Structure formats: C-alpha cells, structure tokens
Structure 1
Amino acid sequence: MLKTMRNIGIMAHIDAGKTTTTERILYYTGKSHRIGEVDDGEAIMDWMEQEQERGITIQSAATTTYWKRLGIKGENIDAAKLPQYQINIIDTPGHVDFTAEVERSLRVLDGAIAIFDAVHGVEPQTETVWRQAEHYKVPCIGYVNKMDRVGADFFPVLDDIRAKLAANPVAVQIPLGKENNFEGVIDLIEMKEIRWDSATDGEEMDITPISGEREALAKEWRERLIDALSSVSDAVTEKYLAGEELPSELIRSELRKAVISRAVLPIFAGASRRNMGVQPLIDAVVDYLPAPDETVPAVGHHLKKDEDITIPCDPNAIPLGLVFKIQNDREAGSLCYARMYSGSIKPGTMVFNVGKKKRERANRILRMHSNKSEPMDSLQAGDIGVIIGLKLAQTGDTIGSEGWPVLLEKMQFPEPVISVSMEPKNLSEQEKLKEILALLSKEDPTFTAREDDETGQLIISGMGELHLDVLVTRIIKEYSVGARVGNPQVTYRESISTAVERTETFSKVVAGKENAASLTLRIEPRERGQGNNFAWAVKNSAIPDEIKDAVERGVNGAFQSGIALGYPCIDIGVTVVNAVYSELTGTEFAFEACASLGFDEACRNAAPILLEPIMAVDLVAPKEFVGDVISLVTQRGGQVLSMDSKPGGDEVKAQAPMAKMFGFMTSLRSVSQGRATFTMEFSHFEKKAER
C-alpha cells in the first residue's frame, strides 16, 4: 500500500499553470470526465467563487486520484497486471499573499512538481516556494510549461534554475520545436519522440523513433543526462566507463535515488493548456518521487523524555499525525486536514491533542476531492485525509495517543504586515462579525483580528492588499455581513534595544483572599527574526508547574499588547531569574498579573524602538522603462539590490518600506504604459526611519 502511494504538491509562481496542469492530471487519470479550464472559471480545484471570478488559486485544494504506469515504449502492455498508484495531490496558490497555504502544504508532502514558465523562467514566487521546499527537504521534479507561447525557450530556463535556485536541473525530455512550432517532446531515456493527438484532447500519444535531423541533439542531451547521473551514481559510472549500454530501468532507478536525495532536479517539458506533456509527468511522479516510507522519517519531541525521536512510517505503530489545515464548513463544522506519520485513526475513536492535552472524538474521516468528499474506513500512516469532530484543533497541532506524548515540529508562518479597520453597518451584526473573524483566523494563520483598546474598532491584518481584499469579500458575500472597511494601515512591531533586569511585586485582595507574587525578570533584545523567547531559570522545586505556566501566560500576553504604542513585540528574550512564592498567598492570578506588569515596566526602561515592515519587491519591465521604474522605487524610500536582463524584460530586485508602497501598482502602470509588473512579499522588520 505505502509503496504505491505518492503525496505530492504542485508549486510555482502565479500564472505558471499549476491549476491547469492539475486539471489535466485529473482528466487523464480518470478522476474527472472533462477538462476544467481556469480561464472559463470551471476548474475543479478552484471551487471557491472568488477563485473562479479572479482566475487565481486562493486556497490549497486536495484531491486523490489513481494511475497505472503504461510508459511510452509503445509495446502492448496488459494494464490489468500493472500496480495502481494512489496519488494525493495538493494544488497550491501562486500569489505571495497566500504563502501560508504553500507553507503548510509543503510541510506534509513527500514530493512536489515545480512548474516553470517557459517564457519567464524562474520568477520571484518560484524562488520563495523553492526555499520552502528546501526547508522541509521535499524532493522535486521540474516541468517547463507553456512551451507553445511566444518567447518560450526551454534551455535558458535550465540555466535560470541553476543560477537562481542553486539546483541541479537535468533534462529528461527536450522539446520538439518551440512557440507556435512546439509539437511534442523527445524522451531522452527511451530515445523516442512523443506527440499528442489534439482530436482526443491529448489522450492519444503518437510515439515514434527520433528523426535523423534531431538525432545529434538528442544524443548530446542524453549524454548530459548520463553525465549528471554518473556524478551521483556509482552503478551508472561503472557501466558508462565500461562502454556498456545503459538500460532504461537502471537510469530510472538511479535517477529516482538522486531525486529523493535532492541531488538532481529532472526537467520535463509541455504545454498543459494544449494538453501536451502531462502523461509523462504523471509517470515521473510514480517513477521519481518517493513513497511515504522512502522519505526522511519525521522528527518529534518526546515530552516525557525531553528528547527528539524519529518516527518511522508504520501503519501498525502508535498513531501520530499533524493537523496542517483547518477549513470551516457550514454543515460539518471544522474540517481538520491531517497527515498521518504513524499508526492509524478510525472513525468514532478518541484522538488525543498532544499540545493541548485534550481528548476529542474523530466522528468521521473523509477523503477530499476539492470541495467534495467520500468516507474513509481509517486514516493510516502516510495518508492525507480530513477528520471531522475535532473542535479544539488548530493548524500545526499534533494528534495521537495519550500514552505517547510526542510533539511534531510546528509550522512557522510570516507576520501579517498590513491592516484595515472593519466595523459592521449596524450593532446587531457586531457579534456575528466577531464570530466570522474568529473562524477565518482559525482557517488562516496569517490572518489576525483584534479590537483596538482606544477606538473599539475591529482591526484585521494580513499579508497584503489582495489577501485582505479576498477576506473582506468573503465576509461580505459568503457570510452576508454588511461592513465598512477603512483604508489600509501598516502593521508595525515594537522591540527593545538594551537589556534590563527588574523585580516586580504584586499584591491584591480579591473576595477576602490575598493574592501575592514577586518576580525578577531579565529582558534582552534578540537578533532580528529570532522571535520572542521565554525561559524559566529559577532553581526552586517547591514552585508548582501551574505557577510557572501562569508566569509564561502573563509574559506571552504582554508580548501581544506591546510597550508604548500597543503594537505586538518581537525579538525579545525574557528570563525569570527569581520568584518568591508562598503556598498561602501565591496564586496563578497573582503571578500572571505580576509577570505582565514586570514585563511592561522593564521594556519601558529598555530603550523601546518601533519597527516597520520592509518588503522585498521584484519588478519586471521592458528595457526602455527600467530607468523610470527604478526612479519610482527610490522615490518611495526603496533601495535597489540587483538588476538582471531577461528575455521578457529587465528584472529589478529591491527593498522598500511597506508604508510607502500603497498604490504602487497605479504609479508603476503610469510610468511603464502598463507594461511593467511587480510582486511584493514581506522581507523583515527594521527600525522605523525618520521621514
């Protein structure tokens, strides 16, 4: 079962053809009976109304399909004797504002297809998702799409991948022609030409020997493939040096090992919109991407032993899984997308939330197909499914067994950088709006909602203008809440610049009982991007764990409430160096309040600073407009980092403060006659400059 399972994601820059390719995979594997087009708003995987209207993917969508690998040798193969592979697919968004959807998908996948635009090569968001895949050590195969477009060129894309992603791209196919003359591919392993029949929507493939005029080019690129493999495979090197013919099976098996170890990125070519190149790509998923038990085992932290342990992918072991996504369903409640790493869970059984130390019942387990579902008998190690009934679960929670307290590594999401105020049109909808915002915050870890202490306004924050626009539209249309939305505001952060130690004493009589606490806190600045940290350094075993937890709650709450201006704090280390506790008067309430007050006072004396979000800006403009584009960036306080000349225009990488980037698109269109494009994502926080 595990050997024939693949958990894959499809990742790329916006508009590279992720959803279009996924739709073809579903069609050719028999999961759907028609090809859904993104441009027509009929893509199966883009099921949300806004996705269909905007023509972009907003939420990652999961589906499962099945495939028998027929290959392309052309001989008669008895399909009934072939193994059937189960492929769990997650189609992810390409826009940087929805990077959390990509992050949490890659966290639970065993392999991925990286799609590259044949015209533009490696684009900004491609670099972002590649870094995410590297972080989680996800093996990848590459697919150069849109070979039929004007300006398409396969070979410069390989150079771009090598230069920008520091990867080792190896062509397994080369294209037959390009742009309007693109007619198919040459398979360099079988040394055959493949063409697709447009009359059958690409279902029928015409496989022929390589023609004489193309033989020299095909042999040259096959040599490059063998050479790349020989550098990572002793078996290939031995046969190659002995002058022996390399069988296709050996090339594929050694290429598989190289892909799983991330030593090689095999590259395929096609034009998904014209139904060309997809079936060999599905074969490549089966041939080169790992089964769940072939990947590096997951690592968990054993809470009782206080040590990290590896978790083999074994369906018969103790259950352990990760909730990687929450989606709200009006009828079923919370849909908890989970990946099982060990053991199995059956419907109706109790599930233990390790982090929250709570038990809940898994009422139903479903296999998803976009927004449709079918029941599953059990969710086993290596598989991905949806559990219904877990009301307390949140993204990143570990679920398993009470007797095996192991926590899987949580996912890290970027900080929200843009905020808008939101208020209901009438008071009767105030509570309904708050409930909806709480639901959306649970679904999306990069979306937050809070109430401003001074104005009483609801402030919602997200990753960018599009992100907030999509969420506001959902609130108004999907949930039918009338609301007014303010202008976008930058979400600042606060931190400190010096270390301070402070002793705080708290005493208050509540209902005739004295509540007293005394704490000494040492606070110090941490390096930018390291995040906040809480440490307990008091060597007094008489202090109960409940008191320690209360102190930590007080400090964590103070992190969120800010120092001078009420913005959340970042990159501050807090160490409790002394605590005075009495069994008679020491209460959780007293220590939580004491910790919060002590933190506030210490930070005010630690030279507090205001930090603003700095954005990484990538622009592509025709050569004649580059000067004006650079001038526009510098006028907004930006700093140009690099320039690169590409076939589609010059690429400019810059950094600029978020506060100056509102309305940038309108200005950019104005100076470039609408021909320049840009993408922007959060880079880091730095001290706000005086302007």
Structure 2
Amino acid sequence: MQAVQPDKLRNIVITGHAGCGKTMLSESLALTMGVVNRLGSIDEGTTLSDYSADEIQKKHSLNTSLIHGFWNEQKINIIDTPGLLDFHGDVKSAMRIADTVLITVNASTGVEVGTDAIWEYTREYYKPTMFVLSKLDADRASFNETIQQLKDHFGHLVTPIQFPIEEGLGHHVLIDILLMKQLEFTPDKPGSMTVSDIPDLYLKKAEELHQQLVEAVAETDESLMNKFFEEGNLSEDELRTGIKSALVTRTFFPVFCTSPLHLIGTERLLNVITNICPSPIERGPEHGICTLDDTEKLLQPDPQGPTIAFIFKTMSEPRVGEVSYLRVYSGHLESGHELIDVQTGQLEKPGQVYTMLGQKKIPVDSLLAGDIGMVVKLKDAHTNDTLADKGTSCRISPIIFPDPMLATAIIPVAQGDEEKISTGLHHLHEEDPSFTIEHDAEFNQTILKTLGETHLDTIISRLQAKFNVKVDIAAIKIPYRETIRLAASSQGKYKKQSGGRGQYGDVWVRLEPLPRDTGFEFASEVVGGVVPTRYLPAVEKGLRESILSGVLAGYPVVDLKAVAYDGSHHPVDSSEFAFKIAASMAFKSAFDKAKPFILEPIYALQVYAP
C-alpha cells in the first residue's frame, strides 16, 4: 500500500454515549467504502472494530480501534471509540490525534451524559466537531426534539444540514439543505443514494433552513458576510469552504442524519467527510513543546520535515508483544527508521509499519505526516511518548486522562500471586493509563483506582485472561486514627528478677491532647536524676512505638503530647530495654484514663454538575 500525502487524509474519531450507534456507523461507512462486503453485527460479534473477546462478550466497545478506507480519492482514517464513561480514557486518547470529531447522538434518546462529557473534551482539545444523528428509523426517533436539545446544550452554532422526510419505520429519504436536493437511499444497499429535486411539499421548509444555514456560515467569515449582504446568498462552493473554515475555528457545528443499520445517510456523510472535514494541512500545525527550554513549537504536517510521531495507544498481542498506535505529525515513518524516544532518550527502531482495519494489519512502506497507523517491536516506548529523529528536541503534549472515580482493594485468590498481580497490572496499565495502582503501606493493600465498575471488571478479567492470575475485591480499609480528650497520667513499672541480673524500669507519663494535625510530641520534665538521662531516649522510643497501634482498635495514635515527669531506677538492673517497656506500659494505662476516641478521616469533595 502506497503512502498517502497529508492533503489526501481525513482523520475522524467517532464518539458518543454508550449504545448510540457508533460502532454500526463505523461499520456502515466501511461497507459503503467497499472495505468489507457485508455489514457486521454486534450481536454476532462480527463487526470490524469490536473484535476482542471481552468486547464480543459484553457487546460494547471497550477499546479504540482503527478502520481506514478510500473515498473520493482520499484516505479516511476512522477511529471508533467506546461509549461507556468507564472507558473515556480511550476516547480522550483518540480525540487527541484526530482532526475532526463526530459526536453520534441517538435520535430516540437525545443528548445524554456521555454526549456532554465528549463535548467538554472537544472544547479541551479545540477540535472541529460535527453531530451525527443515528437511529432515525427507530420508533421513538424525533429529529426536531434532538436538534432542540443539541441547541439547548451546545448553543446556537449547532446547525442542521439535513432533515428527514419521515422518522421511524420507513425512514430512507433526507432533504439536504446544503445541496438543496432530496437524497433517497435504498435500505441495506451501499452506494444506492439518488439525488433529485426537493418536492414542493418540503421546499418551503428547506428554503427557510437553507437561509438560516447561509446566515450562520456568513457570520463566521467577513468576506462571506460582505458577499451575503451584497447578493443575499452564497453558492454551494462558498458554503462548503465557509463551513470547513468555521469547523476549524469551532464557530459552526453541523448536524447530519443517518440510520447506520440500514446504510441510510452514510454515502452522503462520506462525501461530507472528504469535502468539508479538514485535512491535517487544513487543520493547521500541531503545537509541540521544545524540551530544551519548554517553549512552544509549531509542527507543520510536512513529509519532508523531521520525523515526529506520537504514541496514543499501546496494546499487547499474543505472539507479537507490545504494539504501538501512533500518529505521524511531521516527516515520515518507515520500518527500521532509527528514532529517539524524546522522553527517555532511548533509541528505538520500529519494526514493520501497518495501517489498520480493525484487528487486521495491512503492511505499508511508510506513514507520512498526518497519517495514523501501528508499529511493532519498540523496546521501551509507551503511550504519551514522542518518537523523533535524532537531534530533534520536540515532544507532543501528553494526553490528560480522566481522573479515576472508583477505588477498590484487590487481593490474590492464591497465596504467593502478589508478584504476578503486580507484573500483570503494570502491563495492563501500559495499555490503559486511565487506571492507577497504589500500595497502602499502612494496611498492606493493593488499591486499584478505575473509572467505574465495568472498567474494574474488565481489568480483573484481563488480568486473569492474559496473566493467569485471579483476584478478589475487598473493601478499602479506612485509615482511622485514635486520640484523647483529656490529660491523664499513669505509672509504668517493669520489674523482672529470675536469678542473676534483673530488669527494672519505672517511669511516670502524662498524656495531653493537642490540636488536630499536630501529630505526636515528647517532652521530659524529669528532675533529680530519678530517671537517668541516658534512659530518656529509650522512654521516648517506647512511647513512639506505642502510638503506632492504639489501645481502642489498633489504629495509629495522633495529636497528643507525652511527658515523662517522674520514676525511679536501679543502679544494677535498670536498662534501656526495661525503660522502653515501662514507657509502653505507662502509655497504655494513661491512654485508657484520658477518654480516648476514634477519629474519622475527612475528605475534600468537589462535585461538578454539567
């Protein structure tokens, strides 16, 4: 397969709430482009993008997957993403390297939680964004209600480009107000779109919407605005050019109509992608960071420039090892190309370079600037790493993954599997950086922090499938603390005589409460040498060991002061050991008298209401 020039590339990420039709939209686009000869099925586990065992079992996308095809002599890279919020780490990584975002919205359910979250990601990354209504053939589909919801949530810049003649069963005709034509599709037949004049019954509505479209596009560009004021209209080419520019500047968000399961609207959507969505060149340069002085550097998508590529996804495959999904931002990438991992300085020499069709790898000679693909046999480069020619000191800004929301302790089912768990989680984290692993030293617990229960279940099942280790989940132990309300004193006396030299230590200790977050303080008020100075460090050590495990429930003791103020000693039998034990005895006795109680941790909580 020949390398594709940047101006002939379109990089599209398909996003949306879970179950809104993203995978079937990807599937229908692939079929229409001739990539496959039949439409895959989610229920049967035969789609291009949901090919892993856990995706087939759960009937949900759990990973980013790549599909590509050609349309109008342009290569379209389609990135299908999960819809479940638990896997939005993949959504953010895919959006990071795409040039246009398609937000799929179920016309039966409208704007959902995932839709809002994805919109915020598009704002964060400043990505050109289009909305695609799906499932317009469903019983409860409502075009008008969904458009109104989109405008209410995302503003007046949301503008429909099409409307359906009918919704629900029988839906197969669209009125396109950019073309000002009627588009008719034969259900389930790719390439069946026929274009005709708009029937009189729908002409008035189409003209009104067309006028709104012209005004909306004209407002985004001064020259178009002047042309509109002079002539009262814009040509189709002017509208198309204006929409493309407005997409890049996020001043226009068009809405298109589809029913992917029956291939309705997908042929027109492919024309839109090639004619309106920006190429890497039209999208503009990538903002890189110079590692020498942390200054910003603009990276042009020039195949003749220095090679700079960004790894946005790492996965492990049987018999292959780690594979790295990347986008080339400058220069070109080919097998055996000597590169430097800018983050680590490690020399990397990629093996075969591929472009992807779901799980199918298609070898290519090289990837040019702007293209997306996969490489094998990188030694130590992972997600968020930048690969570049030697001497290039520029890196791509990293993906900022969503913060985990669910924390769970995990324990091995079989004793001795702790190391296998640690190794397995380390490898899984390289594939999915959106979860984190922590070790709680206080309770010796491994804490897994994920984006939700489904995310947690998936990690645990992958741990078993890939590394043959089973774990159970357990409650995270709460880090309670013990302290006192009142001051109290007590004597600790350790005396032992069993022939020969004995043991003798005697100390009086007073415990005093301290303000919160003060910790522990030790002081000595001993006078007259009743407790020799050389034994006071042993007294302090005994007290400090005692606060590690409180009297009430064994939790650490905080916020008190321990004062040694009296005692006695034996000139022969006293020792550091004896005074350490005596101090511990005095502490426990005084603690009981000081009205001890348990402190609960206080956590700061931030609530975001979209």
1:399 is aligned to 2:387: yes
1:479 correspondence with 2:471 = no
Indicate if the aligned counterparts of 1:301 and 1:407 stay in contact, CA closer than 8 A: yes
1:255 pairs with 2:259: no
How many Å separate the matches in 1 of 2:337 and 2:231?
Answer: 60
Is residue 311 of structure 2 the alignment partner of residue 323 of structure 1?
yes
Q: Secondary structure at the match of 1:437?
A: helix
Deviation of the 1:410 alpha carbon = 1.4
Write the distance in 2 (CA, Å) between the matches of 1:491 and 1:370. Answer: 44
Offset at residue 457 of structure 1 (A):
4.4
Q: Does the CA-based 8 Å contact 2:218-2:242 persist in structure 1? A: no
| Counterpart check, 1:470 vs 2:458 | yes
Gaps of 5+ in 1: 69-83, 493-564, 567-607, 617-640, 642-652, 654-691
Give the fraction of aligned pairs with identical amino acids, expressed as a percent.
25
Give the C-alpha shift of residue 149 in structure 1: 1.8
The whole-number CA distance in structure 2 between the counterparts of 1:225 and 1:333 is: 51
3-state SS of the aligned residue for 1:486? strand
CA gap 1:274/1:222 in 2 versus in 1, 3 angstroms? same
Call closer, same or farther: CA 1:482–1:234 in 2, change over 3 Å. closer
| Per-residue deviation, 1:331 | 1.7
**Corresponding position: 1:38 with 2:38:** no
| Secondary structure of the corresponding residue to residue 147 of structure 2 | helix
Aligned match of 2:161 in 172, 180, 185? 172
CA distance in 2, matches of 1:166, 1:219: 22
1:309 pairs with 2:301: no
Asked if structure 1 preserves the Cα contact closer than 8 Å seen for 2:51 and 2:359, the reply is: yes
Distance, in Å, in 1 between the alignment partners of 2:424 and 2:478 is 21
The answer for the alignment partner of 1:577 in structure 2 is: none
**Does the residue aligned with 2:169 lie in a helix, a strand or coil?**
helix
Q: In the alignment, what sits opposite 1:53?
A: 57
CA contact under 8 A between 1:418 and 1:489: conserved in structure 2?
Answer: no
Q: Offset of 1:482 from its aligned partner?
A: 4.4
Query: Do 1:140 and 1:289's aligned partners in 2 also have CA atoms closer than 8 Å?
Result: no
Is the 8 Å Cα contact of residues 416 and 491 (structure 1) preserved in structure 2? no
**Paired position in structure 1 for 2:603:** 611
1:274 aligns with 2:262: yes
Answer yes or no: is the 8 Å Cα contact 1:422–1:483 preserved in 2. no
1:88 alignment partner AA:
N
- The residue number in structure 1 matching 2:29 is 25
Letter in structure 2 aligned against 1:262: R
Superposed, 1:237-248 pairs within 5 Å as 237-243=225-231, 246-248=234-236
Q: Alignment length, in residue pairs? A: 489
SS of equivalent to 1:186:
strand
Compute the TM-score of the two structures, normalised by the length of structure 1.
Answer: 0.67
Which is bigger in relative contact order (C-alpha 8 A, separation at least 6)? 2
The alpha-carbon deviation at position 139 of structure 1 amounts to 0.4
How far apart, CA to CA, are the structure 1 residues paired with 2:476 and 2:328? 40
**Separation in 1 of the partners of 2:172 and 2:356?**
35
> Amino acid of the residue matched to residue 183 of structure 1?
H
Q: Does 1:182 align with 2:174?
A: no
How much has 1:357 moved relative to structure 2?
1.6
Q: Which amino acid aligns with 2:45?
A: G
Contact persistence 1:226–1:236 (CA under 8 A): no
How far is 1:300 from its partner?
Answer: 1.9
CA deviation digits over 1:130-171, x for unaligned, max 9?
111111111012111111222322123222222212361111
Judge conservation of contact 2:420–2:467 (CA < 8 Å) in 1.
Answer: no
Gaps spanning 5+ residues in structure 2: where? Answer: 480-554, 557-599
Distance 1:455 1:243, change over 3 A: closer
Between stretches 56-65 and 244-253, larger displacement belongs to 244-253
Change (3 A) 1:609 1:458: closer
Instruction: Give me the whole-angstrom Cα distance separating, in 2, the residues matched to 1:491 and 1:197.
Output: 61
Aligned to 2:111, the other structure's residue is in SS state coil
Native 8 Å contact 2:218 2:224 kept in 1: yes
Given the superposition, is the C-alpha separation of residues 24 and 481 from structure 1 closer, same or farther in structure 2, using an over 3 Å criterion? same
Contact 2:214 2:233 in 1 (8 A): no
Distance 1:341 1:162, change over 3 A: same
Q: Find the structure with the greater CA-based Rg.
A: 2
1:169-209 per-position Cα deviation (integer Å, ceiling 9, x unaligned): 111111111223533100112222112113x5343123222
8 Å CA contact retained: 2:138, 2:169: yes
TM-score (norm 2): 0.76
Deviation at 1:434, TM superposition (A): 2.7
Q: Does the Cα contact within 8 Å between 1:433 and 1:481 map onto a contact in 2?
A: no
Q: Does the Cα contact within 8 Å between 1:62 and 1:91 map onto a contact in 2?
A: yes
Q: Residues 92 and 121 of structure 2 are in contact (CA less than 8 Å); yes or no, is this contact kept in structure 1?
A: yes
Query: CA separation in 2, counterparts of 1:95 and 1:462?
Result: 13
Measured after TM superposition, the shift of residue 488 of structure 1 is: 5.5
